[in-house]
Amino acid sequence: MGRKRLQESADVRPTVHTVAARAGVSIASASRVLNGVGGSPETVRKVREAAAEVGYVPNAIARSLQSQRTELIALAVEDIGNPVYVEMMRAIEAVVASSGRQLLVHATGGRIDNETALLRRLANRYVDGMIVSPIRVTADHLTALQDSPVPVVVVGQLAADAPVDNVRTDSRRGIAMAVDHLVATGRRRIGFVNGPLDTVPGAARDAGFRAALAAHGIALDENLIEIGDFQYAAGRDATERLLARAEPDALVCANDLIAAGALHTLLARGRRVPIDVALVGMDDTELARMMFPQLSSVSLGSAERGRRAAELLLQRIADPSLPPRRASVEPSLAVRASSAQAQVPAQPSREEVTS
């Protein structure tokens, strides 16, 4: 096997067209021989020799080689530093491991080119399937999803007619649960620190917050809304800006990283939490439970979403003919010290410390 041929096969994998041209037979004839369904002895010989000369590997063999190699499942997330993905990943890992496979994780940094590059790389079948949780969904994503030769499950909102296995939650409903809780405990100047409105979660949370206030007949004060990104430092800075012009008695934050930043600013600015300002985060991550006081947080069922996504993916790998399926996970609210009040019948636990 010469250097040149190797080089060729690394650059452009020989196809049935290459073999047919080399053997001087029709593509149909080459295909019949390569698929083992016959041909004259002379054609069989010519095609087999041509196949050996160009280093042709039948797709089936390539696939079986690949199947010897993989047993890997990929998870692509935006920010590996966001604890919400840690919980999702652990749940996925448990399902994947129980199927005898191993999980690998890609961090995309939320860059669309990274996400679509990963999806396109699936053409190389380096994994048996992928779970992806994009925070922005573009036409490029949908094209790459539809072209993917291996199964992909999307965690997050997709258009209703997207022909893709999908696990979602209702973050609008989740925001409403936070607002309902704060209103029930007497808060009225409820602020909101959100992520970018051009992201799927940012837009859903914004709509949810506005609808929830309206449902309680509370007029929206735009001074009580701030936008950063979905990170700790942004939450701290956004809360500084908000406190410079308004005096909320409660803050809802679009994730727990933002809420941790908001807590820092509130405490550094002398606000007592929850006495002066009640605080509710979102995603109900380990980070919320690591803060002091521990943060109330809306759970969007990240572990459950991960588990369901992994199950959908394994089912799809086992049976590629299944129709596209869609699963939903309901949000819930964990009330902890950062928004608890005497009149709130919170579930006491060893975890909880009232400040």
Residue 272 and residue 239: Cα distance in Å, rounded?
Answer: 14
Residue 66 engages a copy of itself in binding (rule: CB under 8 A): yes
Residue 45 engages a copy of itself in binding (rule: CB under 8 A): yes
Question: Binding residue for a copy of itself (CB under 8 A) from 1, 160, 219, 244?
Answer: 1
HEC secondary structure over the chain: CCHHHHHHHHHCCCCHHHHHHHHCCCHHHHHHHHCCCCCCHHHHHHHHHHHHHHCCCCHHHHHHHHHHHCCEEEEEECCCCCHHHHHHHHHHHHHHHHCCCEEEEEECCCCHHHHHHHHHHHHHCCCCEEEECCCCCCHHHHHHHHHCCCCEEEECCCCCCCCCEEEEECHHHHHHHHHHHHHHCCCCCEEEEECCCCCHHHHHHHHHHHHHHHHCCCCCCHHHEEECCCCHHHHHHHHHHHHCCCCCCEEEECCHHHHHHHHHHHHHCCCCCCCCCEEEEECCCHHHHHCCCCCEEEECCHHHHHHHHHHHHHHHHHCCCCCCCEEEECCEEECCCCCCCCCCCCCCCCCCCCC
Residue 244 engages a copy of itself in binding (rule: CB under 8 A): no
- Nearer of residues 30 and 213 to a copy of itself, judged by Cβ: 30
- Nearer of residues 31 and 223 to a copy of itself, judged by Cβ: 31
Residue 90 engages a copy of itself in binding (rule: CB under 8 A): yes
With contacts defined by CB under 8 A, how many residues of the chain interact with a copy of itself? 64
Residue 113 engages a copy of itself in binding (rule: CB under 8 A): no
Residue 275 engages a copy of itself in binding (rule: CB under 8 A): no
Question: Binding residue for a copy of itself (CB under 8 A) from 21, 72, 207, 346?
Answer: 72
Residue 78 engages a copy of itself in binding (rule: CB under 8 A): no
Over the window 289 to 308, marking each residue x when it contacts a copy of itself by CB under 8 A and - when it does not, the resulting string is xxxx----------------
CB of 216 to a copy of itself, least distance (A): 31
Residue 195 engages a copy of itself in binding (rule: CB under 8 A): no
Interface with a copy of itself by CB under 8 A: which range of 29-37, 131-139, 244-252, 300-308?
A: 29-37
CB of 267 to a copy of itself, least distance (A): 5
Question: Binding residue for a copy of itself (CB under 8 A) from 29, 73, 78, 106?
Answer: 106
Round the CA-based radius of gyration of the chain to a whole number and report it: 27
Question: Binding residue for a copy of itself (CB under 8 A) from 27, 62, 184, 322?
Answer: 62
Q: Which has the closest alpha carbon to 166: 335, 316, 8?
A: 316
Interface with a copy of itself by CB under 8 A: which range of 85-93, 172-180, 275-283, 310-318?
A: 85-93
CB 28 within 8 A of CB 16: no
Residue 36 engages a copy of itself in binding (rule: CB under 8 A): yes
- Name the residues that contact a copy of itself, by CB under 8 A: 1-2, 5-6, 9-10, 13, 34-36, 45, 48-49, 51-52, 55, 57-58, 60-62, 64-70, 72, 74, 80-81, 83, 86, 89-90, 93, 102-107, 114, 117-118, 121, 124-126, 232, 260-261, 263-264, 267-268, 286-287, 289-292, 353
